[in-house]
């Protein structure tokens, strides 16, 4: 410990589902371009909480071993979840959710197994988001009891090995510290302040930042070496932000990034 700043800062508690839903409703009024996406997310979070409650917490956790078993255990809840999703998801997800709700057990099992350990790229886009939406609360439950190793800054989640959905700047006493938030289990881990989470590039001049003039708490961190980008939520500028929800609100930043030839590191539950 130097000057009361722990060398390995404790991860902040995960925001409750109620807090996520509330934030989604608030942001839907502020970010008109994202209001549909945020309304979808608010309803999704309501259903995700039910899945979360149905997953029993474990005393000791080894994510890699336990996640496949948990998938087996929650699989019976998938058809109903998919039917609900079909009622409020954006169009391309809606039809696919209906089809997956009716698919046989084996197909559903294959779909959900595709999301473990960063293998999501094997799945078609709509399947990826539906599986992600269903499994996020399960992974989150499991990750709560896991103490990730913080030995060195990792580009993928130290608990479940998935990619980061966004990065966060928090006040660490001696200036802002940066962390990454997992796209699957919501774990947050410390990361380098100036580095690309896709390829590890650390040269300042290769890492352009784009901040919209009217909204300084959301920005794009891009990388000219690998052409990936990630959104950063600056909580030193808006302490009420809920990173995974504010990430969804920044759809115009995704547009900017796409127009400038950058690819997102991984996509969120809305497929953005
Ligand atoms: Zn994770
Ligand atoms: Zn890069």
Per-residue pLDDT of 53-91, as tens digits, reads: 998 776 766 888 888 888 889 999 999 999 999 999 988
**How confident is the model over 141-164, as a mean pLDDT?**
82
80: β partners = none
Among 47, 109, 39, 57, CA closest to 81: 47
Q: What SS3 string covers 183-245?
A: CCCCCEEEECCCCCCCCCCCCHHHCCEECCCCCCCEEEEECCCCCEEEEEEECCCCCCCCHHH
Within 13 Å, how many C-alpha atoms sit on residue 132's CB side? Answer: 28
Separation of alpha carbons 195 and 43, rounded Å: 34
Ligand nearest to the CA of 198: 2
- pLDDT band for 117, please (50, 70, 90 cuts): low
Nearest ligand (C-alpha, residue 221): 2
Look at residue 175 and give its three-state secondary structure: coil
For residue 161, how far is its CA from the centre of ligand 1 (angstroms)? 6
Q: How many angstroms separate the alpha carbon of residue 213 from the centre of ligand 1?
A: 32
Cα 270 to ligand 2 centroid, rounded to whole Å:
24
Give me the pLDDT at residue 10, please. Answer: 60
Q: pLDDT at position 149, please?
A: 63
Give me ligand 2 centre to Cα 21, in Å.
Answer: 32
Give the model's pLDDT for residue 122. Answer: 63
Task: Give residue 55's pLDDT.
Answer: 86
Q: Residue 57 C-alpha to ligand 2 middle, in angstroms?
A: 36
The answer on pLDDT for 5 being more than 90 is no
Q: Ligand 2 centre and the CA of 13: distance in Å?
A: 29
Predicted model pTM: 0.88
Please give the distance, rounded to the nearest whole angstrom, from the Cα atom of residue 90 to the centre of ligand 2: 30
DSSP 155: S
Instruction: Give the ligand with the smallest distance to the CA of 202.
Output: 2
Give percent above pLDDT 70 in the chain: 89
Ligand 2 (ion): residues with CB under 5 Å are 196, 198-199, 201, 223, 225-226
**pLDDT score for 172:** 81
**Spacing, Cα 57 to ligand 1 middle (Å):** 16
- Minimum-distance ligand to the CA of 200? 2
Task: Give dist(CA 50, CA 18) in Å, integer.
Answer: 12
Q: Give the ligand with the smallest distance to the CA of 180.
A: 1
* Cα-only R_g, the chain: 18
Local confidence band at 96 (pLDDT 50, 70, 90 cut-offs): very high
Band of residue 11 on the pLDDT scale cut at 50, 70, 90 = low
Q: Distance between CA atoms of 132 and 41, rounded to whole angstroms?
A: 13
């Amino acid at each position: 410990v130097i000057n009361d700043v722990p060398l390995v800062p404790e991860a902040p508690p995960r925001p409750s589902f109620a807090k996520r839903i509330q934030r989604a409703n608030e942001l839907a009024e502020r970010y008109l371009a994202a209001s549909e996406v945020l309304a979808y997310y608010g309803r999704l979070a309501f259903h995700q909480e039910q899945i979360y409650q149905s997953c029993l917490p474990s005393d000791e956790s080894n994510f890699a071993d336990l996640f496949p078993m948990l998938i087996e255990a929650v699989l019976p809840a998938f058809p109903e979840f998919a039917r609900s999703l079909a009622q409020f998801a954006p169009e391309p997800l809606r039809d696919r959710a209906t089809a997956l709700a009716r698919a046989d057990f084996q197909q559903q099992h294959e779909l959900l197994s595709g999301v473990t350990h960063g293998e999501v790229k094997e799945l078609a886009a709509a399947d990826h988001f539906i599986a992600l939406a269903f499994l996020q609360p399960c992974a989150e439950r499991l990750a709560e009891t896991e103490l990730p190793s913080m030995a060195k800054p990792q580009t993928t989640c130290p608990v479940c090995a998935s990619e980061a959905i966004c990065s966060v700047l928090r006040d660490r006493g001696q200036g802002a510290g940066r962390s990454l938030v997992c796209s699957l289990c919501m774990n947050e881990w410390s990361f380098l302040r100036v580095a690309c989470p896709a390829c590890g590039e650390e040269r300042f001049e290769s890492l352009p930042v784009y901040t919209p003039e009217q909204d300084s708490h959301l920005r794009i961190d891009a990388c000219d070496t690998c052409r990936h980008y990630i959104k950063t939520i600056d909580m030193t500028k808006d302490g009420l932000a809920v990173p995974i929800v504010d990430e969804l609100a920044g759809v115009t930043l995704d547009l900017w990034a796409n127009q400038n030839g950058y690819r997102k590191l991984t996509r969120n539950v809305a497929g953005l």
